[in-house]
Structure 1
Amino acid sequence: MNSIFRTLKMLDYMRMVLGICIMIDGYPLIFFFRDAMRLAPGNTTFTALALAGGLILCVPFTVLRRLYRPNFTLFWLGLGFIVVCIFYMYVYMGDLSFQPKDYQKDLIYYTYILIFLFILINVPNDIAQVFIPVVVLFTLVSNMGLVYSLITDPSWTLGQRATITLNNNDEGSGNPHVFSRNAYMSIIACAIWLFRPNTNFFFKLIALFSGVFSVAILILTQTRSATLAFIFAVIIFFYFNVRPAQIRSTVRSLFRPGPILIMLIGVLAIVFLLKKYYGVYSIVEGYLSNFIERNMENVYAILGLKAKGTNYKAVLDDSAAGRTFSTTFFSNVLVGHLHRLVFGFGYKYLYLDIPLLESLTNFGIVGFALFGGLNGLIVYHVFGIMRANPNPLSVFLAYFYLLLLVQLFVNGRPNEIWFWFPLGLMMRFIGVEHLFPAYLSDPKTPPVEETYAVVPNAQSV
């Protein structure tokens, strides 16, 4: 009987995690059903209903009867910034083309964010037990939906970014960033599931397959922010978790019959797959080389050098050129209109594509202090979590935040809904690991000890 109750409880936790996944990473599946499957192409009501369904799934049966403590400092900083955004929207409008319907749309967005924050303080910490498996499976399904839509989309050709064309528009009308976020989340969750000692062999195989699959999707989306976050995540993981003694111990453990047999089977499988699916490998390799070349063009342009193999100067692409305009605008403000930064230029005055900078230019010192303070404090907690590895949920959120950290400087606006759902998750679970029950914590791996041969003192012989 106890096992039945435990199973039902785990299923209930999975339901809540599924709702959270829809809120922070639901757009790939929403676009798949809405536009690829043509259930409601371009219909924003469909999106709103899907997100509302995610909110409903998040609600625990103990709602209003049992509340859980968030990180109050993060919570009040985030809530304060949302209040400032709503206040500026009605009192200090910077975008004169803002229409009455835009007020309604943005207010709905803020309402969703506030409801999500309220629901999260009702969600128990015990979801940490099932969080990683649900994320792995959710992101895997989303990746498969993307691949299916690409295969069945006649307007998509090799060389284009991997995304779903929205509302039957021309090529490139999709949003590859939501799919790169999904791939990045999958890689992080799969790595955690793969390296946990209590994950059984079958689930480790699923994590390995999904992780490799997600790396390929990340390459196909050709997004800088997720790629940079992935590189930072790998570097930071090795810095905090890999020591010379562990490397030597791991290398020694490989030279045993079991690991040697597994490596041999793996090599043979890779050789077989490369021969059978060499075309797929060539596609991924081509995407990777094109991505590197395209970004090197921006480096050449910044340095004032010529494009590789040509006699003309390299130029910035549209995205990088837009951020160059943003930094130029901010420099001009600092030189001639510094006083305007006290209150900012108003709600949605200018789209800078640099959220941290826009929080200052549009919302003034108060907005920048709230938004920048929130993210600065999250960074402080994140690196502490990476060092301690307290539990799978906290570790996932810490590495997931690296993507948001990169996007603070390269992508989006500070008040966008896709930015605030993950931030809400950070405000609820980051920095409160000490409040989690002991059974949610991962067992600490004992440090690898070096062995030394003791040489007797010559005088004692």
Structure 2
Amino acid sequence: MKNILRLLQDLDYIRIVIGICILVDGYPLIFFFRETLRLAPGSTVFTAAVFAFGLILMVPFTILRRLYRPHMTMLWLGVGFLLFCVLYMCVYVGEGGFNEFGKDTVYYIYIFVFLFLLINIPNDILRVFVPVIVIFTLVSNLGLIYSLLTNPSWAVGMRASITIGGSDEASGNPHAFSRNAFMGVVACAIWLLSSETSVIFRLLAFFAGVINIAILVLTQTRSAIVALIVAVIFFVYYNVRPTQVRQTVRRLMTPIPLIIMAVGFIGLLFLMRRFNDAYSILYGYFVNFVERNMENVYAILGLNAAGTTYQATLDDSSANRSVSALFFNNVIEGHAHMLILGYGYKYLYLDVPILESLTNQGILGIGLFGGLNAVIMYHVLSAMRRNPNPMSVFLAYFYMLVLVQLFTNGRPYDISFWFPLGLMIRFMGVDHLFPAYLVNRPADASSELLVVTPNPA
């Protein structure tokens, strides 16, 4: 009976985590159902309905009866910035070309409802959090693969994404799929390295991890690749010690590991010959990715493109950030006083969120938005160092993608930022409040709840 009750409880937690996944990483599946299966091509109403469904799934049975404490400093900084955005939106509506008041209002409603539901969600969801992420990202990747195989306008060499409302490659959004793949890589690594994961689920995590890495290569998004490199560096720094390396090398030099490595190497050679086309495709994507980024390096240095006599040029995204940097430099030199209050809500799209929070919303804007991310980063590094529980570790490494994107693409108002930031506000830096059975090391659970209403039942 006890096992049945625990199973039912886990199923309820799975429902909640699926709802969270829909909000944080729902675009790949939304694009699949909306565009590939043609349920509602190009419909923003369909997207809003799916997000609403995700919020409904997040509603716990204990809503309003039990509230859990988020990180209060993060909460006040985050809510403060959002309210500041709403104020600027109301003041600057109709100015600077901003005329999407209704659309942005809906976005802010979703964000605030998401934050409210998070403080109602029990900490016990961490029992199923990582496995659900693995399955959810795997399903999303399979949807993308099916879409690519059935899309006659897509060809090898193009960036992997689902086209939106047309057959043009540029109409897709590869960043949504690279985020999904990045989340999948992190979750698969955590599940694979966990001592509690069974052999079958380790194989599933390995299989899903390989697909995630392949999708990451196919999408060719710099921010996700850079974030993965940064995450690996932090993982090695906090988890790999010289003594561990020496012990591992000694163990690998024994007969049985050497035989296994030899068999694995032979198997890899066989797979490369058997699936030579797939290998060639991934290798071609890798080479193209490196050449495209080296072109930007040559352009910055004022050199000629490799093997040519003409000067290298920046790609569109890099050129846009170059223009943004020039605009900011002109503001600093001749209009620095405008940074006190900022130019106004969505005055200019800089494609650098942390910079846009300053130019558009002034000192208070960057103080709130930058301060929130600084506090999050502090607790992210703490979670990487302490490894308190699988969910906190996942969020810590997932934040590396958010951190890179703060300086590379998007806007500080985007829901693609605020749903992940909402998770950080709710779960990062508060693992000491979790009950002892949820953490990797004993913790004091005496102050877990912010509000507890006694329930005689």
TM-score (normalised: structure 2): 0.95
Q: Distance in 2 between matches of 1:267 and 1:201?
A: 21
Q: Is the 8 A contact 1:163 1:174 kept in 2?
A: yes
Could you say which residue in structure 2 is the equivalent of 1:40? 40
> What is the DSSP-based 3-state SS (H/G/I as helix, E as strand, rest coil) of the residue aligned with 1:409?
coil
CA distance in 2, matches of 1:266, 1:56: 47
The 5 Å alignment of 1:43-442 reads: 43-93=43-93, 95-99=95-99, 102-256=100-254, 259-260=257-258, 262-442=260-440
Counterpart CA distance in 2 for 1:350 and 1:266 is 53
Q: Post-superposition shift, 1:198? A: 1.3
Structure 2 partner of 1:4? 4
Task: Tell me, yes or no, if the aligned pair for 2:96 and 2:346 is still in contact at 8 Å.
Answer: no
Distance (Å, rounded) in 1 between the aligned partners of 2:224 and 2:154: 22
Q: CA deviation at 1:92?
A: 2.8
Q: Is the 8 A contact 1:41 1:168 kept in 2?
A: no
Task: Determine the structure 1 residue equivalent to 2:23.
Answer: 23
1:169, distance to aligned residue in structure 2 (A): 4.2
Structure 1 window deviating more from structure 2 (252-261 vs 5-14): it is: 252-261
1:437 positional shift: 1.4
SS at match of 2:70: coil
Spell out structure 1 runs of 4+ moving beyond 3 A.
Answer: 93-96, 255-265
Q: Deviations along 1:204-231, whole A, 9 cap, x unmatched?
A: 1111111111111101000000000001
The separation in 2 between residues aligned to 1:377 and 1:259, in whole angstroms, is 44
Deviation at 1:433, TM superposition (A): 1.1
Cα distance in 2 for residues equivalent to 1:167 and 1:265: 48
How far does the alpha carbon of each residue in 1:291-348 deviate from its partner, in whole angstroms, 9 at most, with x for none? Answer: 0000011011111111111111111111001000001000100111111111100011
Residues 125 and 257 of structure 1, relative CA distance in 2, 3 Å threshold: farther
For 1:433 and 1:218, how far apart are their aligned partners in 2?
Answer: 31
* TM-superposition CA deviations, 1:68-91 (whole Å, max 9, x none): 000000001000111011110111
> CA separation in 1, counterparts of 2:384 and 2:208?
23
Structure 1 residue 137: Cα displacement: 0.5
* Aligned residue type for 2:245: I
Runs of at least 5 residues in structure 2 that lack an aligned partner in the other structure: 443-457
**Structure 2 CA distance, aligned partners of 1:108 and 1:418?**
14
Amino acid at match of 1:49: A
Residue type of the alignment partner of 1:228: V
Identity %: 62
Residues 423/287 of structure 1: CA separation in 2 closer, same or farther (3 Å cut): same
Residue by residue, what CA displacement relative to the aligned partner does 1:381-405 show, whole Å, maximum 9, x if unpaired?
A: 1111111111000000000000000
Structure 1 residue 97: Cα displacement: 2.7
Write out per-residue CA displacement over residues 417-447 of structure 1, whole angstroms, 9 at most, x where no aligned residue. Answer: 1110000000000110111111112369xxx
TM-superposed CA distance for 1:93, in Å, is 4.0
- Per-residue CA shift, 1:332-380, capped at 9, x if unaligned? 0011111111110001100000000000111111111000000011111
- What is the CA deviation profile of residues 77-113 of structure 1, one whole-angstrom value per residue up to 9, with x for unaligned ones? 00011101111011134743333xx111100000000
Contact 1:94 1:347 in 2 (8 A): no
1:4-34 CA distance string (max 9 Å, x none): 0011111111111111111100000000000
Deviation sequence 1:129-186 (CA, Å, 0-9, x none):
1101000000001011101100000010111100000012422210000000000000
What residue ranges of structure 1 are gaps of 5+ in the alignment?
445-461
Moved more, 244-253 or 299-308: 244-253
Q: CA deviation at 1:40?
A: 0.5
Amino acid at match of 1:80: G
Check whether the contact 2:98–2:347 (CA below 8 A) recurs between aligned residues.
no
**Equivalent residue of 1:67, what SS?**
strand
Give the conservation status (yes or no) of the 8 Å contact 2:93–2:101: no
Looking at structure 2, the residues matched to 146 and 95 of structure 1 have their Cα atoms a distance apart, in angstroms, of 39
User: In structure 1, what is the Cα distance between the partners aligned to 2:238 and 2:388?
Assistant: 13
Q: Distance in 2 between matches of 1:344 and 1:143?
A: 40
CA distance in 2, matches of 1:65, 1:84: 30
For residue 66 of structure 2, give the secondary structure of its aligned residue in structure 1.
coil
Whether the 8 Å contact between 1:94 and 1:349 is mirrored in structure 2 is no
Q: 1:238 to 1:183 in 2, by over 3 A?
A: same
> Is 174-183 or 256-265 further displaced after alignment?
256-265
Cα distance in 2 between the residues matched to 1:361 and 1:372: 13
Secondary structure of the corresponding residue to residue 76 of structure 2: helix
Question: What is the rounded CA distance, in whole Å, between the counterparts of 2:429 and 2:268 in structure 1?
Answer: 42
Letter in 2 for 1:392: P
Which letter does structure 2 place at the counterpart of 1:184?
Answer: F
The residue type paired with residue 82 of structure 1 is L
- Kept in 1, the 8 Å contact 2:28–2:176? The answer is yes
Q: What letter corresponds to residue 131 of structure 1 in structure 2?
A: F
Paired amino acid for 2:125: I
